[in-house]
Structure 1
Amino acid sequence: MTMTISHLIRRFGPVEVLRGIDLEVRKGELIALLGPSGSGKTTLLKIIAGLDWPDAGGLAVNGQDWLARKAQERRTGFVFQHYALFPHMKVADNVAFGLTVLPRAQRPSAAKIRARVEELLHFLQIAQLADRYPGELSGGQRQRVALGRALAIDPEILLLDEPFGALDAQVRRDLRRWLREVHDATGTTTIFVTHDQEEAFELADRVVIMGAGRIEQIGHADEIYDHPATPFVARFLGLTVEIPVALRAGRAIAAGLDTSLLPRRAMADGPATLFLRPADLRPAPDPEGTFRVTDVSSTGALLRIGLEGPAGCRAEAEVPRRTASGLAPGQTVRLEAQAGQIFPGQTHLGGDTAAAAAPSADRPILKESHL
């Protein structure tokens, strides 16, 4: 089974919620749609399920036009965030529901339905709950029942919309490991929506990052984490420190910033922005440093250090508390970038940031001989 989504567009009035989505999902893949609220993830999932229709574009499975099929003809299993179980039905009846409402010609016999339900309840490790009602179950147990109901019809595609969003952190961690095991055992092509990076990276074969109705990047967790493709992805993945730099011969240069640990980039000379995670920035006391400590706060294990640099550039560093002695508000420091991503142009700072980033006679570049 191969799903091909081609230039999918969806509008709600003047608002374009999906802006030309192109995506191919291979048989047996587990794909995560990751992004902030309003990025179009759930709308895309509903279109795949047949619960919504696009204004333009195509959706095909194995070369067949799925937009010409009604929802009940697509054989998709859908698991919602809040389970959507029938409260008046016992667990076994909830799991059996999708089979009992199939058209008569496709509906298995009552004996086969019972056998399928028993098989799923044992597989999902909830056989002991068969005669209970949803109101008697924990959140994690309800989500297993919801998944069992979705799997009962042997779906071509399993769709999950924030499946663990209503659960506490420990239950979420346990269930997502369990879901990965279920996926590997069944081989069902699965697409799930989440705004939780850890969840997406731990579970998915590939992660699709969406923002404002567009796909910003597709790839494996490590690839996306280490090499965000756009400033949007960088910010979404926690690269919240943005320092204006100047690119020269593939190296990022800025006053008071040591970038010698960063690899050379195949980019044209000119103004750029260095994106870093606070944990990848190391401040060190220096009377001639161009950054000043504005505030210091402790989380116990870490110190969060607020910094202000040339042209109003603001940054935050996170360093282990026991190794950060000597840093105090008002102190001038030099900065070392241990990792980061560079994008051409100045992304958000006003003023002549290119000039601020460039070196001058009274603002030497640290370790310039290594750049």
Structure 2
Amino acid sequence: MSIEIAGLTKRFDRTDVLRGIDLSVEPGELLALLGPSGSGKTTLLKIIAGLEWPDAGRLRVEGQDWLALAARERRIGFVFQHYALFPHMTVRDNIGFGLSVLPRGQRPTRAQIAARADELMAFLQIDHLADRFPGQLSGGQRQRVALGRALAIKPRVLLLDEPFGALDAAIRRDLRRWLRGVHEATGSTTIFVTHDQEEAFELADRVVVMGEGRIEQIGHADAIHDAPATPFVARFMGATVQLPVTVMGGRAQGPGLDLSALPQVALRDGPAQLFARPADLRVAPDADGPWRVQTLASTGAELRLTVAHPGGAEAEIQMPRRGAPTLSRGAPVTLAVQAATIFADAPIEKETAR
């Protein structure tokens, strides 16, 4: 099912939660909404589901105006972070619940509901749990039951809100691979919300990075990682070192900075801001270097240090310990940047969690 969203806005009291969302989702696509808390991703998902209503904008699925439809008319499968299973129902009954409450004219017979539940339990590899209750299941098993319940009604669109957020890291990794297989087997159009970058990039065909109610960038993992479109995306993707530079003839330069590894940039001459990841920085001892080592620690495999410039700039660096130069606190160094993104006139600001 294709989804077209245009100019979607939503405000809660005086807070703008969505600020003009434009997004197209292709039939059969697995799309991730990625961003920090407060970015609007869950609100967008709920509007698609019919659990929230926008203040303005359009939402069309296969050309049909979904804002004119109630949630029950949209045939949505929704999987919540905390499962929302009925504790008094068995696995089989939980999976069949959505079918049992369909309008009478659309409701399958009891035998058909039981057959669909059995089919899904076998597909999700939980048929041996059919007669257990949610309280007797592990977190990963409960999440499979929740997905089975969402798939039972053969949804036109499958929506997942932080589906693995309540699980430990090892189970999340296993379930990510499993969910990708389920998506490919069902061919459904799927949208899931996450704040986990690894999860988004491993699972999704495309990733939508959201921040403060806006779409900041849409793309694939490599493009977003290597070429963040905005300072927000750069910081969110781990480019936490932000340094003032000057662009001259397409080349960035700064005192005590070796930027020779960076390609030319299509920016006008003048002040700019460089965003880099700590792992993309290196230092070299230099008696004339303006940077000074402030802190220095080793994890065995890696050196972690901070350096400071007399002008007030600071940088955190992570570099392999093997082959690293001998360093000490207070030592003068130059700072080499191996990879970075540069934006013109981007003010220095610290990202705050929301």
TM-score (norm 1): 0.93
Confirm whether residue 80 of structure 1 aligns to residue 86 of structure 2: no
* Alpha-carbon separation, structure 2, partners of 1:299 and 1:42: 38
Residues 120 and 148 of structure 2 are in contact (CA less than 8 Å); yes or no, is this contact kept in structure 1?
A: yes
Instruction: Give the letter for the 2:211 counterpart.
Output: G
What displacement does 1:300 show? 2.9
SS for the counterpart of 2:172 is: helix
Task: Kindly tell me the number of residue pairs found equivalent between the two proteins.
Answer: 350
Instruction: Give the letter for the 2:50 counterpart.
Output: G
What displacement does 1:77 show? 0.3
Cα RMSD between the aligned structures? 1.1
TM-score (norm 2): 0.97
What displacement does 1:3 show? 0.5
Q: Deviations over 1:137-170 (max 9, x none)?
A: 0000000000000000000110000000000000
Q: Deviations over 1:177-197 (max 9, x none)?
A: 110111011111000000000
SS for the counterpart of 1:322 is: coil
* Alpha-carbon separation, structure 1, partners of 2:113 and 2:275: 55
Q: Deviations over 1:206-242 (max 9, x none)?
A: 0000000000000011110110000000000000011
Structure 2 equivalent of residue 93 of structure 1: 93
Structure 1 equivalent of residue 55 of structure 2: 55
Instruction: Give the letter for the 1:199 counterpart.
Output: E
Structure 1 equivalent of residue 44 of structure 2: 44
Confirm whether residue 66 of structure 1 aligns to residue 66 of structure 2: yes
Residues 285 and 325 of structure 2 are in contact (CA less than 8 Å); yes or no, is this contact kept in structure 1?
A: no
Structure 2 equivalent of residue 240 of structure 1: 240
* Alpha-carbon separation, structure 2, partners of 1:186 and 1:165: 23
Instruction: Give the letter for the 1:140 counterpart.
Output: G
* Alpha-carbon separation, structure 2, partners of 1:62 and 1:173: 33
Structure 1 equivalent of residue 116 of structure 2: 116
Instruction: Give the letter for the 2:247 counterpart.
Output: L
What displacement does 1:63 show? 1.1
Confirm whether residue 306 of structure 1 aligns to residue 306 of structure 2: yes
Structure 1 equivalent of residue 257 of structure 2: 257
Structure 2 equivalent of residue 130 of structure 1: 130
What displacement does 1:113 show? 1.2
Confirm whether residue 348 of structure 1 aligns to residue 354 of structure 2: no
Residues 284 and 325 of structure 2 are in contact (CA less than 8 Å); yes or no, is this contact kept in structure 1?
A: no
Structure 2 equivalent of residue 355 of structure 1: none
Q: How does 1:211-360 map to 2 (within 5 A)?
A: 211-348=211-348
* Alpha-carbon separation, structure 2, partners of 1:305 and 1:190: 42
What displacement does 1:346 show? 4.4
Structure 1 equivalent of residue 12 of structure 2: 12
* Alpha-carbon separation, structure 2, partners of 1:166 and 1:301: 31
Structure 2 equivalent of residue 366 of structure 1: none
Residues 244 and 346 of structure 1 are in contact (CA less than 8 Å); yes or no, is this contact kept in structure 2?
A: no
Instruction: Give the letter for the 1:162 counterpart.
Output: E
* Alpha-carbon separation, structure 2, partners of 1:181 and 1:252: 45
Q: Deviations over 1:242-289 (max 9, x none)?
A: 111110111111111111111111111110111100000010111111
SS for the counterpart of 1:297 is: strand
* Alpha-carbon separation, structure 2, partners of 1:282 and 1:169: 31
Instruction: Give the letter for the 1:208 counterpart.
Output: V
* Alpha-carbon separation, structure 2, partners of 1:251 and 1:209: 28
What displacement does 1:111 show? 1.7
Structure 2 equivalent of residue 364 of structure 1: none
Confirm whether residue 182 of structure 1 aligns to residue 182 of structure 2: yes
Distance 1:300-1:105 versus aligned 2 partners, 3 A rule: same
Instruction: Give the letter for the 2:25 counterpart.
Output: V
SS for the counterpart of 1:294 is: strand
What displacement does 1:310 show? 4.0
Structure 1 equivalent of residue 352 of structure 2: none
What displacement does 1:202 show? 0.5
* Alpha-carbon separation, structure 1, partners of 2:293 and 2:347: 23
Instruction: Give the letter for the 1:155 counterpart.
Output: P
SS for the counterpart of 1:311 is: coil
* Alpha-carbon separation, structure 2, partners of 1:127 and 1:321: 50
* Alpha-carbon separation, structure 2, partners of 1:323 and 1:43: 49
Instruction: Give the letter for the 1:172 counterpart.
Output: R
The 4+ residue runs of structure 1 with deviation greater than 4 A are: none
What displacement does 1:327 show? 1.3
What displacement does 1:110 show? 1.6
Residues 240 and 275 of structure 2 are in contact (CA less than 8 Å); yes or no, is this contact kept in structure 1?
A: yes
